[in-house]
Amino acid sequence: METQLIVVYCICDDLVKVLNACEDKQSLMSNAEILTTMIAAAMFFGGNCEKARKFMLDGKYVKYMLSKSQFNRRIHAIDRHVIETIFYILSKVFVEQETNKEFCVDSFPVPVCDNIRISRCKIYTSEEHRGYISSKKRYFYGIRVHLVTSSTGAPIEILIAPGSYHDCRVFKAFNLDIPEGSVIYGDTAYTDYEYEDLLKDAAGISLVPGRKENSKRPLEPCLEFLRKLKRKIIETAFSEISALLPKSIHAVTAKGFCLKVFMFVLAYSFKCHQVIT
């Protein structure tokens, strides 16, 4: 655990200095210490910032720890660009390690509340956040985390969208900053012949989604077998991320809810980074 925290702090500290993130000279805790505590909460304490605060202070990882309210304000005061850049830097390492140029894309739901409590939900109030989980044949209310991962399950790109948004719709919003000649495996939800051709011609990236029985472009048996084999990797990654998530994510605002979800994915990225290094 200590080694993991040191790696997290070093990366956060170097990045904050490079980006010249503004810090009040009177601040008793640096932005790097704030980010490290938040990531530690996601990695080891199910997103419980209070437990992470006490652990960091009692373990003498920080000289001074802000109060609960002060810590919460500082987290929201940090520019979201700084947090996203940390994820981007880690993803570039994963892309460089991906010698096979094989990637996977999929999404998983993060409910904000049970269906019976939708009428009382204050974080989200729009109908666009009501999504459907086909594998479980049930509806949920919340968001979906869309991920592109490497062949080892390391996160490459992430987008968080309302639960009702179709996977293919969100996939078209990805930057797909991956090498030319790469292959992306997906399920049947990503079938779009026109976009597949556009992606192949413009970026040299092959999208290999699952096909339905009446598909005009059926996959060869060997390619379908390979697609199913690679798909297990991203499903394993989702299982490991879900293991970090608590049964209920405590948040007051939609921004805070998305931030916590993003932190869990970022915490998983750090775990993947320490595995490959």
Total-model pTM = 0.92
What pLDDT was estimated at residue 276?
55
**Domain end marker among 47, 78, 109:** 78
Asked whether the beta carbons of 259 and 75 are under 8 A apart, the reply is yes
Residues (pLDDT < 50) of the chain are none
Asked whether the beta carbons of 4 and 43 are under 8 A apart, the reply is yes
Structure token digits, residue 220:
């060869």
| Residue 71 structural domain | 2-78
Q: How far is CA 45 from CA 39, 42, 50, 72, 252, in A?
A: 10, 6, 9, 16, 19
Number of domains in the chain: 2
**Domain end marker among 35, 61, 78:** 78
89 and 55 inside one domain: no
91 and 19 inside one domain: no
The residues pairing with 141 across neighbouring beta strands, listed in sequence order, are 113, 130
**Domain end marker among 50, 78, 106:** 78
Amino acid identity for residue 110 in this structure: V
Convert the pLDDT of each residue in 122-180 to its tens digit.
999 899 999 998 888 889 999 999 999 999 999 999 999 999 999 999 999 999 999 99
70 and 92 inside one domain: no
Question: Which CATH number characterizes residue 125's domain?
Answer: 3.30.420
Q: How far is CA 102 from CA 153, 207, 208, in A?
A: 11, 10, 11
Q: Distance between CA 120 and CA 117 in Å, rounded?
A: 5
What pLDDT was estimated at residue 261?
96
189 and 231 inside one domain: yes
